[in-house]
Amino acid sequence: MNRTSVLRLALSALALLTGCVTTAGSGEPEPHFSSLYADYLSNCRQCHAPGAVGATNTTEKSLDFSTQATAYASLSGNASGLSGNQQSCNSVPFLTKGNPGTSLVLAVLDAPTRSAFDLTTTPGCDTNAISDMTIKVGKAPSAAFITALKTWIQNGAAND
């Protein structure tokens, strides 16, 4: 084996090693807010953030996905500023800790949750009034992300 092939071997071993490290670091989303934000929810800031380029008159007004901290804080509030077809979802909470089925943030990302959405206080906020935000993002979340988001809400939706 000459020096070039030894070097090549060393380099491919290094590539393999770093490959493993990278995979471990950016693995499947976990039911923790930091992981959910890094994996998918950070995409929402294209529109839901002060001065966002994608924001329009009709964009929901209170969500702010600028950072993990603002995202978590604003998710503890209620929908506001919705107009037209979506206005019956105004005042609906984004999150119901412990209950994924009544959490608007899950309903905008998961079709089965959207279809079953049924709040006695705001019956008009149903599948026709809840928009599919995966279309707005332009990229669907992974099944693992949806599972992790459900588990996180079920576990009490901590800022973890």
Decide if residue 110 touches ligand HEC (CB under 6 A): no
- Structure tokens belonging to residue 141: 């979340």
Residue with Cβ nearer ligand HEC (12 or 142): 142
Residue from the set 96, 101, 133, 160 that interacts with ligand HEC by CB under 6 A:
133
Q: How many CB atoms lie within 10 A of CB 149?
A: 27
Residue placing its CB nearer to ligand HEC in the complex, 6 or 111: 111
**Cα angle 88-94-100, degrees, rounded to a multiple of 5:** 110
Contact 141, 132 (CB under 8 A): no
- Nearest distance from C-beta of residue 52 to ligand HEC, angstroms: 8
Sign of CA dihedral 64, 68, 103, 47: positive
Site string for ligand HEC, 23-42 (x = CB under 6 A): ------------------x-
**Of residues 72 and 94, the one with the C-beta less far from ligand HEC:** 94
CB environment 79-115: b (16+ within 10 A), e (fewer):
beebeeebebbbebbbbbeeebbbbbbbbbbbeebbe
Pick 24 or 53: Cβ nearer ligand HEC = 53
Residues written for the chain: 160
Q: Smallest distance from the beta carbon of 23 to ligand HEC, in angstroms? A: 24
Strands (E), the chain: none
66 near ligand HEC, judged by CB under 6 A:
no
Binding residues for ligand HEC, total number by CB under 6 A:
27
Q: Report the interface residues with ligand HEC, using CB under 6 A.
A: 41, 43-44, 46-48, 54, 56, 58-60, 63, 79, 82, 86, 89, 94, 104-105, 108-109, 129-131, 133, 136-137
